[in-house]
């Protein structure tokens, strides 16, 4: 469900968590005073239905909102039928188990242009997401697929592409990764540019676009072809104070998931910054 405020949390289990399970991560999020956590299924979905129900119970008890990051090994623009089918299966499994955990938002890296045109790539990815969201509706899986804005120029996932998919397909909403947008072109890093990004979200998706946001934030090292690696916020050039100010001004609601190497430290810093404005 959309949050009535902006929630801050971590991509995966906080570094200071006593254990390595999702449940110990959820408990640590609550101890830290954070609000949400993204379950990282990035190397594959290694949780069964029983484990998912235990995660749901822990998240409800601790009042921690969950989302899921689907496996990395996905290309919805693959020319090979076998690879495309495997990609669809991975997203489906992430959504099925994620929804049993109480996670509605399923973040995914949609694919690569390869030798296709941008238009053809968009059509292939749109067709695949339509197929998946239709299947979810048939099976009663309450999942929202969130293609992510991507940080390398070879990857499908400009802001415009992600917003167009979200406007076109029921059951698709964006995951806006601000460090990826910045790394892709070396821009998107000022108050005016953050304002433009959020204005585009509102233009494409209306008020719901701003009231049901899912965002990734981290510092980033980048070069001529885009993203290289994530960095702690204070070691990067990401203009996070202006980003938080813009989110507050637009009354954005939803989740800010920190992907920096110092997960909870940066999450707590941004949460404090947001509260102080």
| Span 34-86, pLDDT tens digits | 999 999 999 999 999 999 999 999 999 999 999 999 999 999 999 999 999 99
Residue 173 has pLDDT above 80, yes or no: yes
For residues 186 and 224, give the distance between their C-alpha atoms in angstroms, rounded to a whole number.
Answer: 8
pLDDT tens digit sequence for 237-252: 999 999 999 999 999 9
With CA atoms as reference, report the closest residue to 11 among 175, 171, 158, 157.
175
Give the pLDDT band of residue 5 (cuts 50, 70, 90).
confident
Pairing of strands 65-69, 36-40: parallel
Cα first-last separation, the chain = 25
Residue 135 has pLDDT above 90, yes or no: yes
Q: What is the CA radius of gyration of the chain?
A: 17
The DSSP symbol for 102 reads: T
pLDDT of 2 > 60? The answer is no
* Integer Cα distance of 67 and 148 in angstroms: 13
Q: CB count, 10 Å around CB of 245?
A: 17
Mean pLDDT of the chain: 96
Q: Please give the Cα distance from 102 to 258 (Å, whole number).
A: 20
pLDDT tens digits for 187-196?
999 999 999 9
What pTM does this model have? 0.96
pLDDT (0 to 100) of residue 199: 98
**Which domains are seen in the chain, by residue range?**
4-274 (3.20.20.150)
């Amino acid at each position: 469900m959309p949050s009535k405020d902006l929630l801050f949390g971590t991509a995966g289990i906080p570094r200071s968590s006593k254990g390595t399970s999702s449940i110990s991560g959820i408990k640590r999020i609550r101890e830290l005073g954070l609000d949400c956590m993204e379950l990282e299924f990035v190397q594959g979905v290694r949780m069964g239905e029983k484990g998912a129900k235990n995660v749901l119970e822990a998240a409800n008890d601790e009042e921690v909102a969950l989302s899921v990051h689907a496996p990395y090994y996905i290309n919805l623009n693959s020319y090979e039928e076998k690879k495309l089918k495997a990609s669809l299966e991975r997203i489906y499994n992430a959504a099925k188990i994620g929804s049993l955990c109480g996670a509605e938002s399923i973040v995914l890296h949609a694919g690569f242009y390869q030798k296709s045109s941008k238009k053809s790539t968009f059509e292939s990815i749109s067709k695949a997401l339509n197929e998946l969201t239709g299947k979810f509706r048939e099976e009663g899986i309450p999942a929202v697929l969130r293609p992510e804005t991507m940080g390398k120029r070879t990857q499908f996932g400009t802001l415009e592409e992600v917003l167009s998919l979200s406007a076109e397909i029921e059951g698709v909403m964006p995951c806006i990764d601000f460090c990826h947008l910045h790394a892709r072109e070396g821009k998107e890093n000022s108050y005016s540019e953050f304002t433009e990004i959020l204005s585009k979200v509102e233009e494409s998706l209306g008020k719901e676009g701003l009231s049901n946001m899912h965002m990734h934030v981290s510092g980033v090292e980048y070069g001529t072809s885009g993203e290289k690696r994530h960095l702690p916020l204070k070691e990067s050039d990401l203009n996070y104070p202006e980003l938080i100010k813009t989110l507050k001004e637009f009354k954005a609601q939803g989740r800010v998931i920190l992907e920096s190497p110092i997960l909870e430290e940066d999450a707590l810093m941004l949460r404090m910054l947001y509260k102080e404005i």
